A and B are shown apart, each in its own frame.
Chain A
Amino acid sequence: MRRFWIDTDTASDDAVAILMALRTPDVVVDGISVVSGNVPVEMGTRNALYTVELCGKQTPVYSGIDRPLLREPSYAYFFHGPDGMGGMNYPEPAGAEDKVHAVDAFIDAVRGSPGEITLVILGPLSNIASAVRIAPDIADKIPMCYVMGGAAACLGNMTPAAEFNIWADPDAARIVFHSGIPILMVGWEHCRGEANLDDDDMAFVRSLNTPYADFTLDCNESAIKTNREWLGDPGLALPDPVTMAIALDPEVCTKRGKHFVDVETISDLTRGMTVVDELGVLNKEPNIEVCWEINIPLWKETLYTTLRDE
């Protein structure tokens, strides 16, 4: 069995990504740590719990850091809806989050199983940066980390230069990017255009006629609308599920390269920009693998597989 840990600011596309991991038969999710990001951490925790229960799992959910390390919080209700879940107003989850703090739980999990737990980060990096500072030894104990964040090709969605997860807590992102954890950065650009679920794709998902397929579309109702009106894209953009698809099947990423990548933390104009030294002009040791291309049909099939009934 492969073991995953998911760090998430659970709103609609995070929820789908969580579902994908929970519904992959050879993957065990040791824990889900929630962080402030798309929505406040309490709301994200509730959304994560709801998703776990929808999948019939008992995966522990831990509530984490409630704001960026140095900045004021800024949420993405405009994209994900007032509840972060497309305005579906799902019922309260039956269970409750674990009482242990997300950062403590994550440190304990990694130390308890060194080299065994793959980390998938779907939100701002405040939890993981804190963990790295509190327990620096964990960096060597994480075999691989997939980060949904950044924009290697410099296509920002929060500002022209920056993607939301990195923009929201650039200082945390910078800590994690330089922590020594092996990271594949999956930028926001990989969910756009043809990687969207278009009308035909969404009709296909609906035709699967499972609660998971319906949930995937329903909780993203606000995201679909905003994606079309705001960006003029064909349908549903799913940045976190694309990243999860790569974590589940690394073949989904068809072109990758290791580069020196830094995060801008001083400038207002380019706050949170992921600066990729593709040509090596800075002559610095590469620290991050960047995903440059994905296999779009394989990404979608990886998603669909987890939405079908067993």
Chain B
Amino acid sequence: MTKKILIDTDPGVDDTMAILFALRSPELEVIGLAAIFGNAYVDVTAKNALHLVELENNHHIPVAKGAAVPLVEPPRSMGMHVHGDDGMGGINLPDPDGELLGIPAAQFIVETILANPGELTLVPIGPLTNIALAVRLEPRIVDLVKEVVIMGGTVYADGNASPVAEANIYNDPHAAAIVFNAGWPLTMVGLDVTLKVVMTKNYLDKLCSVGNPATEMIRQVLPFYQQFHMEEYGLNGDLHTHDPSAIAYLLDPALFQAEQIPAFVETVGSCSGQTVLDRQRQLGDFKEINVCLGVDDRSVLDLFWERLTG
């Protein structure tokens, strides 16, 4: 029984790795991609998403373009300093063959969930604007989705967009607050686990020498992203595994230690974008989410390796 998923994404170098990981996993049926601003402008990420479905002949998978800016606040910044002007490490891909869907991403998300009641897993690995808009458009999706697994947020680890906030949440805290408070089964795969899964330079070098279309794409997009991590975090060609960790969770949740804990998102002030656990419900009656706090990093890396090289 395959798991039907819709990935909401801002490719993005690690998004690229995550999407290819998902497309090459037989347990997952990717029903569609929804593009969002974040690592680059949405016109760019939508084009990249199309390119990625076409890379290994998945032309049948539709791609919808989503929101260009956060729900209520002006955009803070796009992630081009991390992912390159084209979101793909500056490699300037040719235009994709296919066309984007004629409907906006939020509508696509609503229609896809309604068409697959109880069966669709939403996998947002960018800012949550499209998902929040979909919830407001059609509140029934909260009960009809199977689950929502996000890459985003951080509890105990330092933030990567502010001292307390992870970039996907920071880039649209109000949308994140809607998603966290919706009352659907939500799993947070955040920096608490993604920073623990380290692709070493050696691992990446070997991966990039495999020579299939997926690893060739990764080989091309990686250097700019590695350079950023070298300068920002002092990593010597190693990388943290952000978006692909959410795909690993879909494939084998047992690789993660997670807890059901009430949580909320701060939306104002200097801690805007912080994901806060409130175990004792001291600040309100917040919805419980499934927060990943530990990970079997070795097994995640092995799984990624197996799928990308198989």
Contact = CB atoms under 8 A, between A and B. Distances in A.
Interface of A: 65-67, 69-70, 101, 103-104, 107, 126, 130, 133-136, 171, 174-175, 265-266
Interface string B158-202: 000000000000000010011000000000000000000000000
**Most central of B104, B110, B139, B174 by chain A CB within 10 Å:** B104
A65 B66 CA distance: 18
Nearest to A175: B72
Given A66-B139, A101-B137, A103-B137, A136 B107 contact: no
B255 to A, nearest CB: 35
B69 interface: yes
B306 interface: no
Nearest to A68: B136
B268 A174 contact: no
A42 to B, nearest CB: 12
Contacts of B138: 101
Contacts of A265: 72
Main secondary structure of the interface of A (DSSP, over half): helix
B227 interface: no
A174 B137 contact: no
B136 A65 contact: yes
Contact of A133 (B107, B129, B268): B129
B71 interface: yes
Contacts of B217: none
Given A174-B72, A175-B72, A266-B268, A134 B104 contact: yes
B104 A107 contact: yes
A69 B104 contact: no
Interface string B63-94: 00011110110000000000000000000000
Interface size class of B (residues with CB under 8 A): 20 to 34
Nearest to B68: A136
B106 interface: yes
Interface in B105-155: 105-107, 110, 129, 133, 136-139
Contacts of B139: 66-67
Contact of A134 (B67, B174, B177): B67
A126 B138 CA distance: 13
Contacts of B106: 130, 134
In the complex, the 9 A-B pairs of residues with the closest C-beta atoms, listed nearest first: A171-B72, A134-B104, A134-B106, A136-B68, A133-B67, A135-B104, A65-B136, A104-B107, A134-B133
B136 A130 contact: yes
Given A101-B138, A135-B104, 18 more contacts: A66-B139, A67-B136, A69-B71, A69-B178, A70-B267, A101-B107, A101-B110, A130-B106, A133-B129, A134-B105, A134-B107, A136-B67, A136-B69, A171-B71, A171-B174, A174-B72, A175-B72, A265-B72
Contacts of B103: 104
A133 B39 CA distance: 18
Contacts of A66: 139
Contacts of B267: 70
Contacts of B178: 69-70
Contacts of A133: 67, 69, 71, 129, 133
**Most central of A134, A135, A136 by chain B CB within 10 Å:** A134
A104 B69 CA distance: 19
A175 B268 CA distance: 17
A292 to B, nearest CB: 28
A104 B136 CA distance: 12
A265 B139 CA distance: 24
A264 to B, nearest CB: 13
B208 to A, nearest CB: 37
A101 to B, nearest CB: 6
Contacts of B177: 70
6 contacts: A65-B137, A70-B178, A104-B103, A107-B104, A133-B133, A266-B268
A101 B136 CA distance: 11
Contacts of A136: 67-69
